[in-house]
Structure 1
Amino acid sequence: MSLPFSLFSLIFLFTSFSTSPYSAAVKTHNAPQDLVRSSCVHASYPNLCLRTLSSYAGPANTPRDLAQAAVKVSLARARKVSNYLNALSGLKTKRERVALSDCVEQISDSVDELSKTLSELKHLRGETFRWQMSNAQTWVSAALTNEDTCLDGFHEVESKVKDDVKRKITNVARVTSNALYMINRLDESRGRVKLGH
């Protein structure tokens, strides 16, 4: 008599614990992190991807959220670098000044392209999804090319400025590369993505 009762009590305790608000909250809380981890594992720069998207404050529950988050990270860093480049002064050689001038233009273009990409991702529609994804991929690829071109301009410049610029631009290029990966991933998951209106 006592055995079935204790078994029943254990089952009751187990089910009430597993369906408690606490455990539900834990599951919900971990879901975005699991998506970030599984999405970042094959990105160009997995550790950077994990670090930037795990600390991202907005929602990241779907591939679309992640793609937007990755583009936002890239855009924020590109804007920061753009401000840094515009504030640079005291360049000693003509070659430095030309490289900087070209780089300012390239990064400004990157900011524009990433802004357009973010806008496109925010307004995805089922009937135009493929065309919009093509636009997003083209713009992020162009932003990446601009960042590489900026670095190329400093190739023959030897100065502390070059090292600073190279470090900052390389960081932007890496998060942009990860953003492109997330957009490609979103494109591939087309059938499983819920599109907003």
Structure 2
Amino acid sequence: MATTLNPSSSILLLLLLLLLSPPLLQTSHADNHDLVRSSCVHASYPDICLRTLSSYGGSASTPRGLALAAVRVSIGRVQKASDFLSTLKGIARRERGALTDCVEQMGDSVDELSKTLSALKSLRRGGDFRWQMSNAETWVSAALSNEETCLDGFKEIGGDVRSDVRRSITNVARVTSNALYLINLIDDNRRR
């Protein structure tokens, strides 16, 4: 014999369920934060990793989601650095050439990181997985090489421009290095 609830009992039951739900949601958020913390602890730059990815919450609930977030952060930092470098004024001819090359390399980095993002979004288990992971790792590595090449262009140049470029590009390279580490974690988790 089935029992039915009257409308007021149904409302009370619904309210009771709603009151019990927030701790479940908090646990989920805590689990996501634990994933970020446990993944970032061995990154090349753990403090930067934790600081840049801790706000991604639900979208970074898996190693793949965390890697996607890290690549998005890297793209944002590269674009910000490129915009900053484009605004530098009052520089000598030699600095201008290195700066132009650097801005171009940052554009290449954005392209390579965007390809990485696409590869990670369409990542599938099976025969193509290894190929897709290899591509993603190669593109992030190429973006890192572009960032290093940009810095190399300023080795023989001194002054404020060099220190501004170094500070900006070093920040980008650290975030990109962390993204590469987190992409490698996807592959490591698959092999276990």
Match of 2:89 in 1: 89
Which amino acid letter does the alignment assign opposite residue 72 of structure 1?
R
Match of 1:157 in 2: 157
Give the number of equivalent residue pairs. Answer: 174
Which SS does the other structure have where 1:91 is aligned?
A: coil
Distance 2:59 2:33 in 1: 11
Contact 2:82 2:107 in 1 (8 A): yes
Does residue 48 of the first structure (1) align with residue 52 of the second (2)? no
Which SS does the other structure have where 1:55 is aligned?
A: helix
Which amino acid letter does the alignment assign opposite residue 70 of structure 1?
A
Match of 1:139 in 2: 139
- Aligned pairs for 1:1-197 (under 5 A) are 20-56=20-56, 59-92=59-92, 94-127=93-126, 128-190=128-190
Post-superposition Cα deviations, 1:53-98, rounded to whole Å, max 9, x if no partner, equal: 0023661110000000000000000011112222222212x22112
Gaps of 5+ in 2: 1-15
Residues 171 and 157 (structure 1), Cα distance of their counterparts in 2 relative to 1, 3 Å cut: same
Match of 2:9 in 1: none
Contact 1:58 1:69 in 2 (8 A): no
Contact 1:116 1:139 in 2 (8 A): yes
Give me the CA root mean square deviation.
Answer: 1.8
Gaps of 5+ in 1: 1-15, 193-197
Contact 2:63 2:186 in 1 (8 A): yes
Residues 110 and 55 (structure 1), Cα distance of their counterparts in 2 relative to 1, 3 Å cut: same
1:191 CA drift (Å): 5.7
Q: Which moved more, 1:171-180 or 1:115-124?
A: 115-124
Q: Which runs of 4+ in 1 moved over 3 A?
A: none
Residues 160 and 113 (structure 1), Cα distance of their counterparts in 2 relative to 1, 3 Å cut: same
- State percent identity of aligned pairs: 64
Post-superposition Cα deviations, 1:162-181, rounded to whole Å, max 9, x if no partner, equal: 11111010000000000000
Residues 104 and 68 (structure 1), Cα distance of their counterparts in 2 relative to 1, 3 Å cut: same
Which amino acid letter does the alignment assign opposite residue 39 of structure 1?
S
Which amino acid letter does the alignment assign opposite residue 39 of structure 2?
S
Match of 1:12 in 2: none
